[in-house]
């Protein structure tokens, strides 16, 4: 029996997450569109054909639910049949949503299984928290309104006549959804971009060596940004000529430009998704050389009150504003992706302040 799954810890109450999980309109905004199957009462069609790991639309029916903690669907996709179970459990900070899909008939090729799991992780860790944060920002009560329910998704019996556990799949009224989405769109449109404070980058000072060439001072990858130093006038002073001595070679005011050797490792940062009070980021570390690399270190600097959670792809530690990621050597031409979530009290924060790999700046920032 093949099984895949994903889970996410959310800073929202169980009831709110249950609505996002079971309301058709909300499902379409963080996972995929859902519609009823014509001439098939109780069946739903999920538009998953274009998602990673899916090669067709999925038809499903609810076979068990316990409001607001558990819902199970029996799914049919092409020649495969599976059972998808979603559970919501309260935590001290909100709740934990877990998704588990078990293959009952047919096969998933390894790339398809990996892509399918990735689709669940991206939806749970990116789009779903963004939708929930947006509703919280709007201070919308997602409980049942005075108008009551306008749609109820059917529950069918299990094979063999077993009746599902009793429960109700409640959804928001169409008018309420339209008002919420319209109000939210206005807020997003009016929300100004948060300017990122300019960080002064240090200019390395040059110290003449015995041969007359200037050697730059080194900077630790984890050091805080420093103010730009000024060059001293002595660096540009003309050398004096002593009587009876041979003319000395001319010393330039600064070292001539040299072509720096390409770094052993490169990295690119990307903000994958943003939320009201945080975001999800990725750093792709690559070895562009022709030989195997060594162990690598990525240092990312965040704002004062940022907290990094749910890191995958590297060993890591956080010390104040600085988070250090380390990883095993990469073969030539290979890469490794680090994924992490950031909790930030600044609304709609867009990313960290800096990122380096082996002391060299990451691309994308």
250 vs 305, which has greater pLDDT? 305
Confidence of residue 93 (pLDDT cuts 50, 70, 90): confident
Range scoring the smallest mean pLDDT among 70-74, 82-86, 100-104, 176-180? 176-180
pLDDT per residue over 37-79, tens digit each? 888 888 999 999 989 899 999 999 999 999 999 999 999 998 9
Confidence of residue 293 (pLDDT cuts 50, 70, 90): confident
Q: For residue 243, what pLDDT is reported?
A: 41
Q: For residue 347, what pLDDT is reported?
A: 63
156 vs 172, which has greater pLDDT? 156
Q: For residue 241, what pLDDT is reported?
A: 45
Query: What is the Cα–Cα distance from 255 to 242, expressed in whole angstroms?
Result: 24
Q: For residue 180, what pLDDT is reported?
A: 41
Could you tell me the domains of the chain?
A: 2-190 (3.30.530.20), 266-361 (2.60.40.290)
Q: For residue 162, what pLDDT is reported?
A: 52
Q: Is the pLDDT of residue 12 over 50?
A: yes
User: Model-level pTM greater than 0.85?
Assistant: no
62 vs 141, which has greater pLDDT? 62
Q: For residue 210, what pLDDT is reported?
A: 41
Confidence of residue 278 (pLDDT cuts 50, 70, 90): confident
Q: For residue 159, what pLDDT is reported?
A: 55
Q: Can you tell me the mean pLDDT for 107-117?
A: 89
Confidence of residue 154 (pLDDT cuts 50, 70, 90): low
Range scoring the smallest mean pLDDT among 63-67, 134-138, 238-242, 348-352? 238-242
Express as a percent the part of the chain with pLDDT over 90.
36
Q: Which two tokens stand for residue 207?
A: 């110290």
Q: What is the mean pLDDT of the chain?
A: 74
Q: Can you tell me the mean pLDDT for 201-228?
A: 42
């Amino acid at each position: 029996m093949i099984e895949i799954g994903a889970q996410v810890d959310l800073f929202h109450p169980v009831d709110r997450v249950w609505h996002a999980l079971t309301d058709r309109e909300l499902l379409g905004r963080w996972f995929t569109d859902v519609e009823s199957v014509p001439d098939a009462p109780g069946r739903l069609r999920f538009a998953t054909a274009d998602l990673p790991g899916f090669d067709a639309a999925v038809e499903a029916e609810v076979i068990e639910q316990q409001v607001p903690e558990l819902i199970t669907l029996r799914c049919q996709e092409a020649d495969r049949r599976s059972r998808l179970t979603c559970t919501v459990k309260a935590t001290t900070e909100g709740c934990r949503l877990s998704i588990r899909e078990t293959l009952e008939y047919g096969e998933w090729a390894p790339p398809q299984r990996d892509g399918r799991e990735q689709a669940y992780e991206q939806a749970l860790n990116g789009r779903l928290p963004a939708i929930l944060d947006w509703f919280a920002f709007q201070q919308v009560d997602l409980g049942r309104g005075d108008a009551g329910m306008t749609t109820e998704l059917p529950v069918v019996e299990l094979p063999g006549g077993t009746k599902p556990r009793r429960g109700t799949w409640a959804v928001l009224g169409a008018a309420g959804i339209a008002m919420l989405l319209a109000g939210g769109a206005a807020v997003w449109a009016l929300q100004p971009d948060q300017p990122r404070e300019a960080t002064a980058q240090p200019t390395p000072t040059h110290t003449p060596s015995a041969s007359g060439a200037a050697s730059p001072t080194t900077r630790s990858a984890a050091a805080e940004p420093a103010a730009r130093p000024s060059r001293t006038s002595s660096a540009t002073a003309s050398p004096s000529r002593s009587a009876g001595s041979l003319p000395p070679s001319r010393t330039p005011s600064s070292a001539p430009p040299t072509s720096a050797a390409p770094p052993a490792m490169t990295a690119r940062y990307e903000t994958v998704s943003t939320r009201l009070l945080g975001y999800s980021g990725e750093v792709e570390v690559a070895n562009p050389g022709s030989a195997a690399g060594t162990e690598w270190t990525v240092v990312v600097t965040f704002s004062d009150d940022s907290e990094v959670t749910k890191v995958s792809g590297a060993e890591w530690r956080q010390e104040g504003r600085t988070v250090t990621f380390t990883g095993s050597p990469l073969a030539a031409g290979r890469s490794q992706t680090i994924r992490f979530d950031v909790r930030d009290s600044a609304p709609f924060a867009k990313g960290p302040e800096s990122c380096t790999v082996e002391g060299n700046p990451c691309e994308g920032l």
